[in-house]
Amino acid sequence: MTATQSSSEAFEYKPVALNERITSDGSSRWPVEAGRYRLVVARACPWANRSVIVRRLLGLEPALSMGLAGPLHDERSWRFHLDPDNRDPVLGIEYLGEAYRKADPGFDAGITVPAVVEIATGKVVTNGFQQLTLDFSTQWTALHRDGAPDLYPVEHRAEIDEINQAVYEDVNIGVYKCGFTNSQEAYEQAYRALFARLDALSERLATQRFLVGDTITEADIRLWVTLVRFDAVYHGHFKCNRQKLTEMPVLWAYARDLFQTPGFGDTIDFEQIKQHYYGVHTDINPTRVVPLGPDVRNWLTPHGREALGGRPFGDGTPPGPPPEGERVPPIS
């Protein structure tokens, strides 16, 4: 996605530019195929984090390799500066923008993660982050691991979609609306919408362990990737400072519950998250000084949410540990 300022100085997002789909039903020119594609993400990005979590929970690692862009980038796009020789070892590129321009030599829109790249051609197939994880659940089923959970159950899809839309507008991009606007009025409007939505979600989650039904769904994943970054970056960096997550008891317990669930906390690198937001958003943080806090050891404290019941993976099972090359530093 690409951030823009409108004439009213309110923050907006432009839609993604390469919004094709990879399907198993012949509805697109890109078929689901093991080993054909590479998912490019960054640990820092919440939109990319969603795809990492769903890929983990469904066990798609053997079928869909993953490239990791580093937390820092410049006007040339996300860069593979954590890899040897500063290049993705599979795609052989230094900047993700190279794969976008292979798909479209005149590409001049936002170069975003997640992006799925066809390995043989080096071309980006899609950066359609909203549909991508749903397709992982519904189109990639033949490649799911045994025991993969159903993250988008048919009987709950309408409710999941409704919650996802509200969370997207008020929370996922709500924090960005607070952080990037140049207008006091727009900031205050986004701030109030954000915390009104968080209050409503807190009330909902006070009596049920997960957002929809009694299992983890796509709705939980989409909310959680914002919550896990809240105190580290959004509270201060984006002026979302009515309360910290740790001061919202229900949401804090809910977020810790998921953090301690395989497939969630084991995708998070708090240092890369802070390096990205404080090091790249120079309009907001011109010094590029990265804060040392907060202390994140409290993410491992007991949450007590088991008392609400629920079955995190439904009839499925937890995923195994991440592949060796995809592990994040443990909290210490």
Candidate list 176, 234, 254, 278, residue with the active-site label: 176
Phi/psi at 257 (5° precision): -55, -50
Q: How far apart are CA 127 and CA 48, in angstroms?
A: 10
Peptide bond before 286: cis, by omega within 30 degrees of 0?
no
| Annotation marks residue 176 as catalytic | yes
Candidate list 45, 100, 234, 277, residue with the active-site label: 45
Which residue type, as a one-letter code, is found at position 76?
Answer: R
Q: Is-contact 9 117, C-beta < 8 A?
A: no
Residues with catalytic roles: 45, 176
